[in-house]
Amino acid sequence: MTNIRIKEGTYKIRGNDVDLAGMVFPLVQEFKVGAKGGYVTVDGRAVPGFPERNIKIMCDGTSAYEAAGTKVNTVTETDEEIVERIRERFDMLKDMTKAVKKGVVSAMIVSGPPGVGKSHGVEEVLDRYDTVAALGGGQKYEVVKGAMSPIGLYCKLFNFKDQDNVLVFDDCDAVFEEPLALNILKAALDSKKKRTIHWNTDSFKLRNEGVPDSFEFKGSAIFITNLDFRDVKSKKLRSHLEALESRCHYMDLTIKSEKDKMLRIKQVVQDGMLDSYKLSDDVKEDVMDFVDINKKQLRELSLRTVLKVAELAVAFPQRWEAMAENTVMQNR
């Protein structure tokens, strides 16, 4: 792919037009004029800090850029920019969850590393709706975890088939690998206005639970996974994931590096995650320093680990660090 160097051009980042003069990007499509003016299309994935997709750089013509070598410049995000980028994604996650609950969006996949608050962001929104639903005598959403058989999936979808119902599959990746389960999900999440699911073999379980061999699914689904679909190596699994992704909105929380994860953890703690532990500000700071200093030796760099260390600080005020070294860090 040919690279170009921008001589005069801008790209809108967080509502502001950023001057990209001197930046190098892989060229995707030559200069065109659209409704908002002239632009050249480049691959933003090649430059850190830009969206991982093709982007349009606004410019006045082909004279606004020139051919460049193979090297692509990089943009280093500040800590504040990383925190803001991740915060925006989690705000979008809440907005998308609301859209799923309303039935405007039928399905969503949420991808990100473990222990960064994916599940909490989704359940926080759905809990508000469920409180209202409980007053009316009906459960409106459920979180499904762990393994699930195809017929178990079929029955679960039937129980939540009505409009405004939401099934959340949290770390339930086995359903992606089972062809029959995947076919059931494909039928449930089809883009057709009427989504009918069929079970074409005789089943005692269905008869015993009063589940019909076909029904219309009007509910919605959210899949929360640690998988990055683009990094899956198995051809068989990748084809299954592509079939599911084509039926869902895919939200990548863009937390890729250890630094991203650490800044996300600091952000959540600053937002009050440890307030219920009644620790002094100095001890909270010590807890975060312990996690930050030892992040490469931790069993898991996550919000869960921070909570574990905070629990130890409450239970063992004088020796919580020694306790944490033996419980949340890897054996040396």
Taking alpha carbons only, the member of 290, 298, 294 closest to residue 320 is 290
Give the pLDDT confidence score for residue 107 in this predicted structure: 94
pLDDT exceeds 70 at position 245: yes
What's the whole-model pTM score? 0.74
Q: What pLDDT, on a 0 to 100 scale, did the predictor assign at position 91? A: 93
> Are β-strands 3-6 and 65-68 bridged in parallel, bridged antiparallel, or unpaired?
antiparallel
Query: Helix, strand, coil shares of the chain as percentages rounded to 5?
Result: 45, 20, 35
Residues counted in the chain: 332
* Predicted confidence band of residue 13 (pLDDT cuts 50, 70, 90): confident
Q: Which residue in this structure is represented by tokens 């949290």?
A: 170
Q: What is the mean pLDDT of residues 121-136?
A: 75
- Weakest-pLDDT range from 55-69, 134-148, 257-271: 134-148
Cβ atoms of 225 and 261 within 8 Å: the answer is no
The arithmetic mean of pLDDT across residues 62-80, rounded, is 77
Q: Which residues contact 95 (CB under 8 A, 6 or more apart)?
A: none
Task: Return the pLDDT at 62.
Answer: 92
pLDDT of residue 138: 59
Q: Is 207 helix (H, G, I), strand (E, B) or coil?
A: helix
Residue 146 has pLDDT above 70, yes or no: yes
The proportion of the chain whose per-residue pLDDT surpasses 90, expressed as a percent, equals: 58
DSSP string, 98-156: HHHHHTSS-EEEEE--TTSSHHHHHHHHHHHHHHHHHHTT---EEEEES---HHHHHHH
Mean pLDDT score across all residues of the chain: 88
CA–CA dist 195, 257 (Å, integer): 39
Q: What is the pLDDT of residue 70?
A: 62
Query: Range with the lowest mean pLDDT among 154-163, 234-243, 245-254, 310-319?
Result: 234-243
For the stretch 212-216, contacts whose Cβ atoms lie closer than 8 Å and that sit 24 or more positions apart, written own/partner, are: 212/158, 215/158, 215/161, 216/161
278-290 pLDDT, tens digit each: 999 999 999 999 9
Q: Is the pLDDT of residue 128 over 90?
A: no
In angstroms, the CA 169 to CA 188 distance is: 14
Helix H or strand E segment including 86? helix 79-102
Q: Which of 136-145, 192-201, 289-298, 315-324 has the lowest mean pLDDT?
A: 136-145
Instruction: Quote the pLDDT of residue 45.
Output: 84
